Amino acid sequence: MSLTSGPMRTSRPARAGQYLALLAYLVFLAFPFLWLISTAFKSPRELGDLHPTWIPKDPSLDNFRQAFDEQPLLEAAGNSLIAALAAALIAVVIATPMAFVMARHRSRLTTAATGWVVVSQAFPFVLVIIPLFLILKNLHLINSLPGLIMVYVVWSLPFALWMLVGYVRAVPRELEEAAAVDGASRLRTLVSVTAPLLMPGLVATALFAFITAWNEFFFALVLLKSPEKQTLPVVLTHFIGAEGAADLGPLAAAAFLATLPSLVIFAIIQKRITGGMLAGAVKS
């Protein structure tokens, strides 16, 4: 190892080890998804094979056909998309000015608010569901997507806020002070100076809120009654029977399709998220 000054260099074996560990981690992460894809294209007979193969012996689209034939997947995906997009958008719009205040104006209130945000994450669904149900019922928001969206916003808001506070703190305060010197109001400063710099953080937060809402099951199950309003995770359970029995092929096909929107969105904005994460993580 060199003792000269300059950036630390990793030895070749260590670098190879790092890549190997990374590869193992990627395989670990990808394994369930790849298995899901493989299952989605297998026939019921092949699913009962004692020695399953990665590549289906006789790949077919029958599971996809059956899944679409038996359940209103497109309708459910539409409902999920509306709920998830609306929840993500509203959560970000509400959380941004809140994060700005919490990051820039330190007081006992902001400290208490930060504590409350962390504590609120500890409440399990079952604890809040019945009071929540009664409140929404009184507001005539049971069995409606707006009601579900409201719940998703409230549910993802604390963590979204917590994320955004970190991003706002990473934006140099001097830029806002310069805007103030030029006569910009606080709102103008937030919109024209802070928000553009926060874009990676906003995207990452929106994605978090989107995926949370897209995958959420229990609130959707309890709050939506009509079949035409159900979301994708709820419809997926219709392929599962008593005592863990499942219609595995169609379930895998539908679950595979359900993961696609998240993957596509993630792939499109991946670079922005990476930048955002770094921006939030490094103190200036």
Partner 1 sequence: MRTFRTVTALAAAALLLTGCAQAERGPDKDGVVHLRFQSLAWQKESVDINRQLVKEWNAAHPKVQVEYVQGSWDSVHDQLLTSFEGGEAPDIIHDASDDLADFSYGGYLADLTKLLPARLKADIPQQSWDTTTFDKKVYGVPFLQEPRVLMANEKLLKTSGVRVPTPEQPWTWEEFRQVAKKLTTDMGKGKYGVAWPLKEPVSATLNLGLSAGGELFHQGDDGKTTIRFTDADEVVPGTVHDQVNTDGSASAATLGMGGSDTLPGFFGGKYAMVPLGFSYRQQISQQAPEGFPWTVLPAPAGKDGLTQGVSPQTLSVAEDSPFKKEAVEFIDFFLAPENMARLAKGDWMLPTGKEALKDPSLHTPKDGWATGTALAAHLRSAPAQSVRGYPEWKDKVATPAYQEFYSGAIDAAELRQRLEKEGNLVLARYQR
Q: Interface with partner 1 includes 51 (CB under 8 A)? A: yes
Q: Which of 17, 48, 78, 115 binds partner 1 (CB under 8 A)?
A: 48
User: Cβ(192)–Cβ(82) under 8 Å?
Assistant: no
Chain mean position to CA 37: 21
Q: Interface with partner 1 includes 78 (CB under 8 A)? A: no
Q: Which stretch binds partner 1 (CB under 8 A): 127-135, 149-157, 164-172, 261-269?
A: 127-135
CB nearer to partner 1: pick between 12 and 108: 108
CB nearer to partner 1: pick between 17 and 48: 48
Q: What share of the chain is helix, strand, coil (3-state, %, to 5)?
A: 75, 0, 20
Q: Interface with partner 1 includes 127 (CB under 8 A)? A: no
Q: Interface with partner 1 includes 237 (CB under 8 A)? A: yes
Total residues at interface with partner 1 (CB under 8 A): 41
Q: Interface with partner 1 includes 113 (CB under 8 A)? A: no
Provide the minimum distance between the beta carbon of 243 and partner 1 in the complex, in angstroms, as a whole number: 7
Say how far apart CA 10 and CA 24 lie, in whole Å: 20
Q: Interface with partner 1 includes 130 (CB under 8 A)? A: yes
Q: Interface with partner 1 includes 115 (CB under 8 A)? A: no
Q: How is residue 183 annotated by DSSP?
A: T
DSSP 210-259: HHHHHH--HHHHHH--SGGG--HHHHHGGGB-GGG-B-HHHHHHHHHHHH
CB nearer to partner 1: pick between 91 and 224: 224
Q: Interface with partner 1 includes 126 (CB under 8 A)? A: yes
Paired residues of 129 in beta bridges: none
Provide the minimum distance between the beta carbon of 45 and partner 1 in the complex, in angstroms, as a whole number: 6
User: Cβ(167)–Cβ(148) under 8 Å?
Assistant: no
Residue (of 130, 119, 118, 132) closest to 165 by Cα position: 118
CB nearer to partner 1: pick between 185 and 237: 237
Provide the minimum distance between the beta carbon of 218 and partner 1 in the complex, in angstroms, as a whole number: 7
DSSP 39-107: HHTS-HHHHT-SS--SS-SS--SHHHHHHHHHS-HHHHHHHHHHHHHHHHHHHHHHHHHHHHHHHHS-S
Measure Cα distances from 219 to 41, 45, 193, 223, 262 in Å.
31, 36, 37, 6, 20
Site for partner 1 in 169-228 (CB under 8 A): 217-218, 221-222, 225-227
Q: Interface with partner 1 includes 244 (CB under 8 A)? A: yes
Q: Interface with partner 1 includes 54 (CB under 8 A)? A: no
Could you list the residues that contact partner 1 (CB under 8 A)? 44-45, 47-52, 66, 70, 126, 129-131, 133-135, 137-139, 142, 217-218, 221-222, 225-227, 234, 237-248
